[in-house]
């Protein structure tokens, strides 16, 4: 089993009860057991360490009862019930009771859990022997043979390394036959814990004289402990994890029972943590009415600290986590003894470096330099409760999913930890199984004993083609309910969903749509960025047998109105705000004032659902006589719960699922209709071709409203049953962070996305180590970019060709030889046929450029309400005309050379546009380039190069033509005009809109031909 933690950047809220102090409980219970009579220790703690102390006392014959929240202890001489007694896994119990076991009426063997057999306690044993205890160990580790009989007393020396050793001697010394002097040698660590021991002994009537520097203790002999009634204070060591979580997230939380915001007046040995938290900038206020410490803020800038770990040694793990998020360098001094705890806690916390932290050990000092953020990772808790809880808090604020071994270790000291953290809203849960050993560059997401799901061979693809989108979700909700399905990668987003959560939310959304009158076959339009609600809504729409009609987020009023009109949508879902725009208000404004933007096509729209921005108080738009605007969350809350949907709603694989409007690189968009089975088949074909499995994770920077994001992001995740990682707004550094944290293995996106990622990594942003495959679509990948990206990202860069109408037709594979992967658009997928023909339809041989056509089982149903346009794109024998010119080599690898409409015909000589662009892309002053035709009276057309220059460079036309001349390019192919631009016009998925460049070029003056 392992603890799975999903990172989140949203606020946490709620109230948790701080448990009572285990430190006080250990000491009070032991001292009560030594006091003849009855003691009452109120304020139970459920810490397993304390249970081990109670258990060992009972094994020694002490009566310990539990009544309500109180331990009732009947103290007196120890009368061991058996020859062997166990300290369980509690080091405190072992150290305190090793010597005290000698006060029993018979010899005993003190044991513990198996790993105690490797815990050296030679220094403690030597000190006990010096006091006159007959105690033996063959290894200097448990098990220990302890002879019964009061100790002699005398002068004993003990290292100041561990306070528990000192406390163990002090607890025993009052019962010696003569005076005892305990001398602490070397640096004394953990002094506050010794102070608590002295204070607690005084409560039970035991006397110790301590020097001012707490290096010498004189304990009179033959003392008698007296019963006492005590109330245990709150455990600051446990509260520290709630305070740390509140420091790392926007928070409005209360820690009930915690009565102070500083160490003043507290005898808790870890009270200094409160002062350190305040010094770091955590805003804590005590609320007497609620008897709680509250933390409220919208985000903190934590300050670094300088800590002497001898005072708060057990706080190093959680403080080092907080220091990772501080603005500067924190220093933790005197850490040597921290390495002697349940684990080497310093080494354990160095695992934070695998999450992107900056921790270094310099002698006996740990330095932590704050970083911008952490990434998810697979970590070990070393079965150490402090390490587990601290690393889990770090993982809660990291980007991605983390796993931790020994997930129940927290029960040792803070059994309520997991319920407290999840009560705040953090995503932590114990999952069954042990993570399999991962394959190279692939994180294991499947438990050992089960195999990752693969799609291999035509039969497997055919089986996938029979499954609808919502049925995939229902299947994974049943088979892998708690695995991550959707990662909402927006800043401040918390919409991460498991499969069972996605399934349940989709049912609720479907019920809400039913309430609005949605029925099978209806088209539901929605304009949403890449966020979890897009996925939920898609599954809900399809579950009703309706058709999903997503609209690109960048579309404005006119484009949205046109899409709603063509889709005949009666329901539209949009967001209140996105990237500074107000889409819902824009639509309402258009409907109120249609003449302001020109004639608006008639709409059948009846309802608009609006996803509100967090904390928004802006009123929803209203349109007199128009559609009703409703809050999305309110609609979901009012919808009937449960999966009871219309029986006739369940779609089949042959039913329409998707209506997409083409990207419009060459003119007006057209509505493309696809079936469930087509989409499932297309995703399965790619998975089979690339060897993708359920252990992969799909990163989706392309808009979900475009086929690349919708099909080869979201739907591919459905088919594989693997996580999909959504990024709503493109930012390469954020993309790399998401891919690292969530361990993305696969991306399909346009070439500009790849360019930006490579540039960001070159600039110093760490590459995602798990990324295996980047499929570049939309435009040919320049060879040198592919080569560079392969080195920089460490991933296979695969070219591909596809259209909205046909899905992917050709695709390279990392298994192909590099010249094919980097220099082509791949080869036909299984079941796809490709051909090159001339202008009259005659088949051309390999290596000859012509018109590219394909035949595929993933072709669309047709253009919505446009049979005339549908007929135009098919040949008489049923092949799809792509509109591209291309070359197929003898091995079947495709190389797109241009669009038919983009061809530049210079005096009858066709310029190889794609080839010239590829060459110019390699010019050191060129960041981006596209060639477009400009009209010419004599030659018909000439080439104009639109160039985005490298910052600080301004190339001349002569620079470009000289570069081409150096590559022996025919003079006829050289561009004859250069236009420097800030950016090339691209659609939302990165395709260059050549028709806009041609429109621009039409306005250029005729070129000077005096030199021609």
Strands 671-675 and 698-700, sheet pairing:
unpaired
pLDDT value of position 211: 93
> What are the E-state strand segments in 43-126?
63-67, 70-75, 84-86, 108-111
Q: Could you give the C-alpha distances from 125 to 129, 135, 724, in angstroms and in order?
A: 6, 7, 57
CB neighbourhood size of 936 (10 A): 16
> Which of 368, 238, 255, 363 lies closest to 303 in space, CA to CA?
368
pLDDT in tens, 4-28: 999 988 899 999 999 999 999 999 9
- Is 910 marked within a binding site? no
pLDDT in tens, 281-303: 999 999 999 999 999 999 999 99
Higher pLDDT, 548 or 437: 548
In percent, the amount of the chain with pLDDT more than 90 equals 71
| Fold (topology level) of 903-1012 | GMP Synthetase; Chain A, domain 3 (3.30.300)
pTM (predicted TM-score)? 0.80
Report how far residue 365's alpha carbon sits from residue 349's, in angstroms, rounded to the nearest whole number: 13
- The DSSP secondary-structure symbol of 375 reads B
The CATH number, out of the four listed (3.40.190.10, 1.10.10.10, 3.65.10.10, 3.40.50.300), of the domain defined by the range 22-231 = 3.65.10.10
Backbone angles phi, psi at 746, to 5 degrees: -140, 140
Report how far residue 675's alpha carbon sits from residue 548's, in angstroms, rounded to the nearest whole number: 11
Structural contact between residues 574 and 534, judged by C-beta atoms closer than 8 angstroms: no
* Residue 1012 pLDDT grade (very low, low, confident, very high; cuts 50, 70, 90): very low
Which run of H or of E encompasses 923?
Answer: none
pLDDT value of position 1002: 87
Q: Determine which of 102-106, 493-497, 596-600 has the lowest per-residue pLDDT on average.
A: 596-600
In percent, the amount of the chain with pLDDT more than 70 equals 94
3-state secondary structure of 732: helix
Question: Cβ contacts of residue 44 below 8 Å, gap of 6+?
Answer: 20, 66, 69, 70, 71, 232
Helices (H) and strands (E) in the chain, counts: 30, 50
Using CA atoms of 988, 990, 993, 994 in order, give the dihedral in degrees to the nearest 10.
Answer: 180
- Is 991 marked within a binding site? no
* Residue 440 pLDDT grade (very low, low, confident, very high; cuts 50, 70, 90): very low
Question: What architecture (CATH level 2) is domain 2-17+234-431?
Answer: Alpha-beta prism (3.65)
Structural contact between residues 181 and 152, judged by C-beta atoms closer than 8 angstroms: no
- Is 581 marked within a binding site? no
Report how far residue 156's alpha carbon sits from residue 123's, in angstroms, rounded to the nearest whole number: 11
3-state secondary structure of 144: strand
pLDDT in tens, 380-420: 999 999 999 999 999 999 999 999 999 999 998 899 999 99
Q: What is the mean pLDDT of residues 954-972?
A: 89
Q: What is the mean pLDDT of residues 474-495?
A: 86
- Is 287 marked within a binding site? no
Q: Where are the domains of the chain?
A: 2-17+234-431, 22-231, 903-1012
pLDDT in tens, 179-209: 999 999 987 777 889 999 999 999 999 999 9
Encoded tokens for 975: 């561009």
314 labelled catalytic: yes
- Is 27 marked within a binding site? yes
Structural contact between residues 988 and 552, judged by C-beta atoms closer than 8 angstroms: yes
Backbone angles phi, psi at 926, to 5 degrees: -105, 120
Strands 108-111 and 144-146, sheet pairing:
antiparallel
Identical fold, 2-17+234-431 and 22-231: yes
- Is 868 marked within a binding site? no
Q: What is the mean pLDDT of residues 47-69?
A: 94
pLDDT value of position 304: 97
For residue 6, list its beta bridge partners: 401, 427
Structural contact between residues 563 and 551, judged by C-beta atoms closer than 8 angstroms: yes
- Is 163 marked within a binding site? yes
Q: What is the mean pLDDT of residues 575-581?
A: 90
Catalytic residue, candidates 235, 272, 314, 696: 314
- Is 954 marked within a binding site? no
Report how far residue 956's alpha carbon sits from residue 947's, in angstroms, rounded to the nearest whole number: 10
pLDDT value of position 666: 44
- Is 314 marked within a binding site? yes
- Residue found by looking up tokens 């695709």 in the block: 811
> Which of 96, 102, 164 lies closest to 133 in space, CA to CA?
102
pLDDT value of position 353: 96
Q: What is the mean pLDDT of residues 809-837?
A: 90
- Is 119 marked within a binding site? yes
DSSP assignment of 935-1003 equals EETTTEEEEEEEEEEPTT----HHHHHHHHHHTT--GGGS-SEEEE-SS--B-TTS-B-HHHHHHHHHT
pLDDT value of position 665: 44
Question: Cβ contacts of residue 74 below 8 Å, gap of 6+?
Answer: 37, 38, 62, 63, 64, 65
| 699 pLDDT higher than 60 | yes
* Residue 435 pLDDT grade (very low, low, confident, very high; cuts 50, 70, 90): low
């Amino acid at each position: 089993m392992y603890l799975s933690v999903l990172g989140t950047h949203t606020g946490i809220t709620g109230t948790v009860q701080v448990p009572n102090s285990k430190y006080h409980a250990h000491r009070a219970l032991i001292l009560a057991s030594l006091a003849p009579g009855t003691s009452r220790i109120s304020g139970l703690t459920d810490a397993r360490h304390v249970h081990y102390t109670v258990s060992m006392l009972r094994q020694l014959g002490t009566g310990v009862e539990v009544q309500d929240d109180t331990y009732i202890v009947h103290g007196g001489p120890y009368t061991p019930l058996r020859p062997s007694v166990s300290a369980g896994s509690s080091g405190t119990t072992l150290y305190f009771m090793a010597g005290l076991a000698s006060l029993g009426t018979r010899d005993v063997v003190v044991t513990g859990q198996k790993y105690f057999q490797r815990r050296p306690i030679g220094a403690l044993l030597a000190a006990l022997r010096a006091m006159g205890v007959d105690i033996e160990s063959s290894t200097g580790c448990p098990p220990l043979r302890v002879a019964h009989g009061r100790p002699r007393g005398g002068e004993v020396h003990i290292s100041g390394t561990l306070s528990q050793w000192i406390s163990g001697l002090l607890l025993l010394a009052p019962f010696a036959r003569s005076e005892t002097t305990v001398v602490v040698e070397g640096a004394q660590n953990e002094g506050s814990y010794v102070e608590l021991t002295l204070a607690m002994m005084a409560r039970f009537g035991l006397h110790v004289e301590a020097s001012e520097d707490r290096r010498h203790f004189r304990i009179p002999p033959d003392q008698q402990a007296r019963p006492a009634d005590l109330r245990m204070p709150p455990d600051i060591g446990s509260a520290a994890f709630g305070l740390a979580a509140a420091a790392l997230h926007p928070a409005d939380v209360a820690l009930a029972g915690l009565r102070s915001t500083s160490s003043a007046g507290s005898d808790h040995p870890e009270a200094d943590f409160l002062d350190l938290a305040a010094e770091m900038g955590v805003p804590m206020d005590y609320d007497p009415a609620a008897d709680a410490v509250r933390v409220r803020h919208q985000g903190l800038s934590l300050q670094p600290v300088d800590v002497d770990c001898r005072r708060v040694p057990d706080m190093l793990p959680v403080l080092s986590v907080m220091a990772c998020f501080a603005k500067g360098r924190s220093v933790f001094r005197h850490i040597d003894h921290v390495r002697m705890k349940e684990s080497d806690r310093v080494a354990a916390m160095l695992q934070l470096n695998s999450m992107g932290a900056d921790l270094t050990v310099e002698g006996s000092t740990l330095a932590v330099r704050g970083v911008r953020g952490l990434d998810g990772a697979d970590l070990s808790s070393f079965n150490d409760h402090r390490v587990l809880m601290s690393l889990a808090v770090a993982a809660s604020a990291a980007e991605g999913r983390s796993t931790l071994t020994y997930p129940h270790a927290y029960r040792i000291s803070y059994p309520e930890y997991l319920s407290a953290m999840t009560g705040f809203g953090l995503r932590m849960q114990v999952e069954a199984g042990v993570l399999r050993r991962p394959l190279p560059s692939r994180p294991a997401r499947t438990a050992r004993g089960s195999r990752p799901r693969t799609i291999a061979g035509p039969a497997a693809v055919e089986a996938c083609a029979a499954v609808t989108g919502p049925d995939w979700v229902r299947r994974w909700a049943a088979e892998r309910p708690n695995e991550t399905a959707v990662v909402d990668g927006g800043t401040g987003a918390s919409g991460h969903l498991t499969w069972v959560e996605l399934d349940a939310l989709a049912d609720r959304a479907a019920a809400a749509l039913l309430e609005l009158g949605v029925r099978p076959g209806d088209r539901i339009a929605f304009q949403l960025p890449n966020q979890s609600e897009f996925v939920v809504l898609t599954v809900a729409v399809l579950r009703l047998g309706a058709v999903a009609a997503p609209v690109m987020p960048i579309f404005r009023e006119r484009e949205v109105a046109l899409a709603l009109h063509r889709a005949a949508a009666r329901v539209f879902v949009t967001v209140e705000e996105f990237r500074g725009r107000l889409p819902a208000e824009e639509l309402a404004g258009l409907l109120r004032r249609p003449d302001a933007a020109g004639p608006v096509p008639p709409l059948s729209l009846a309802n608009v659902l609006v996803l509100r921005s967090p904390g928004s108080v802006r009123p929803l738009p209203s349109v007199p006589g128009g559609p009703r605007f409703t809050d999305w969350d309110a609609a979901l809350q009012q919808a009937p719960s449960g999966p009871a949907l219309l029986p006739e709603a369940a779609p089949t694989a042959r039913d329409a699922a998707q209506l997409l409007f083409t990207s419009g690189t060459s003119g007006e968009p057209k509505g493309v209709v696809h079936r469930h089975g087509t989409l499932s088949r297309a995703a399965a074909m790619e998975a089979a071709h690339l060897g993708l499995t359920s252990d992969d994770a799909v990163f989706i920077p392309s808009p979900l409203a475009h086929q690349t994001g919708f099909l080869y992001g979201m739907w591919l995740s459905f088919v594989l049953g693997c996580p999909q990682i959504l990024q709503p707004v493109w930012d390469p550094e954020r993309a790399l962070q998401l891919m690292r944290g969530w361990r993305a293995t696969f991306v399909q996106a346009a070439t500009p996305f790849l360019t930006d990622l490579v540039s960001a990594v070159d600039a110093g942003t760490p590459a995602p180590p798990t990324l295996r495959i980047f499929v570049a679509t939309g435009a040919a990948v320049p060879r040198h970019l592919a080569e560079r990206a392969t080195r920089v990202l460490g991933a296979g860069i695969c070219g591909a060709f596809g259209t909205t109408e046909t899905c992917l037709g050709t695709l390279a594979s990392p298994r192909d030889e590099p010249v094919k992967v980097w220099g082509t658009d791949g080869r036909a997928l299984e079941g796809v046929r490709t051909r090159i023909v001339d202008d009259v339809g005659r088949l051309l041989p390999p290596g000859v450029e012509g018109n590219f056509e394909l035949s595929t089982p993933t072709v669309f149903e047709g253009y919505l309400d446009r049979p005339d346009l549908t007929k135009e794109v098919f040949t008489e024998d049923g092949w799809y005309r792509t509109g591209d010119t291309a070359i197929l080599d003898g091995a079947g690898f495709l190389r797109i050379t241009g669009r038919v409409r983009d061809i530049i015909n210079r005096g009858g000589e066709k310029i190889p546009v794609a080839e010239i662009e590829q060459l110019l892309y390699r010019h050191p002053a060129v960041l981006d380039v596209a060639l477009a035709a400009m009209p010419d009276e004599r030659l018909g057309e000439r080439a104009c190069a639109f160039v985005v220059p490298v910052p600080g460079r301004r190339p001349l036309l002569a620079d470009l033509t000289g570069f081409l001349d150096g590559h022996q390019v025919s003079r006829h192919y050289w561009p004859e005009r250069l236009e420097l631009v800030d950016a090339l016009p691209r659609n939302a998925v990165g395709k260059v809109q050549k028709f806009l460049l041609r429109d621009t070029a039409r306005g250029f003056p005729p070129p000077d031909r005096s030199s021609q």
